[in-house]
Amino acid sequence: MLKVPLGERRYFHVPLNGHTLKVLSEAGLKVRSFTLTANLLSLTVSKYVEEIKCTGAAGLDRNLRNLTYGNEERVIQYDLSVVVRIAKTTRKIVSSFKRNDTRIGRGIASKYGKRRRSRINHLLNCATKQVVEEAYHSKEAIVLEDIKGIRRLYARGNGQGGEFRGRMNSWWFGEAQRQIEYKAKWRGVPIIHLTKGETRGTTKDCARCGERLQVAQQGQDEMKHRRQLWCGRCGRWVDRDINAVMNQSRRGRLRFDRSLPNKAKGEAGEAMKGNPTTPVILRVDASKMTRRGIPKSYQNHM
């Protein structure tokens, strides 16, 4: 129970669920404040987190249908294809309502938009939590690429179809990064942000030899190697997502190594600091992790 003093030795008791009690029982955690409404209780908590001593770095590539995490030693892909189907179904349902009343149309779009956001956030929460736990146990810094301005690639007037633009603009890359960042700080996992220059060529440069990769030819090769690129020097097909995280991890490790002698003054000093006081609202991270891939509660939705 949460005891809220009302004065004159009177208290108002609010029951807490198991997840909240588990989080509040962590050593060193402090409750900063709480917000109580008619049907919601939000607790703001903080704790001192010591940054883990990393022995390596691993890249994270955010894609429309998956999150790819890894380095030269191992690569893990988290399937998020159901996110695309949820967004597509929502757009189809909203467009099926033919009403001349703009106010009703906005209400319908808002209702289904909130439902879509809730489902997608749960899926992203499961995947990002596993990524951070993998980095924590492997003692690796998470390397994120800079993809700011990517929305401009799918703006109206670029000669792209409406369905394609709708699918690409439903890509929740910003939310995935937000969850990765605050969960990593809560666990003491360092985050390294690559610049635009360091990000350039991570997908199209071969991680083994540095040769410029080529796309598949038209016809059967294009369908067979749809997500793969060809390296003329190595003579092999390379998955573009795996190749990207391998390049990211290598470039992030170089940044990490340069920052070790002068961590307080180095270029990556800010990225490598811990998070002693950043508050975390419990209800944001309330979803439980299930397994890699699609959570069971969503396997039968589509």
Q: What are the C-alpha distances in Å from 42 to residues 2, 126, 179, 260?
A: 12, 21, 18, 38
pLDDT-based confidence at residue 142 (cuts at 50, 70, 90): very high
Whether the per-residue pLDDT at 271 is higher than 50: the answer is no
Whether the per-residue pLDDT at 277 is higher than 50: the answer is no
Q: What is the pLDDT of residue 288?
A: 36
- Residues 59, 146: Cα–Cα separation, whole Å: 12
Residues 71-100 have a mean pLDDT of 86
CA angle 279, 281, 282 (to 5 degrees): 130
Q: What are the C-alpha distances in Å from 265 to residues 53, 128, 260, 270?
A: 18, 30, 10, 9
State the pairing for strand pair 280-281/228-231.
unpaired
Whether the per-residue pLDDT at 16 is higher than 80: the answer is yes
Q: Which of 29, 51, 31, 57 is nearest to 275 (CA)?
A: 51
Q: Could you state, in order of their start, the residue ranges of all structural domains in the chain?
A: 48-298
pLDDT digits 0-9 by tens, 204-256:
888 888 888 887 765 555 556 677 888 888 888 888 888 889 999 988 888 77
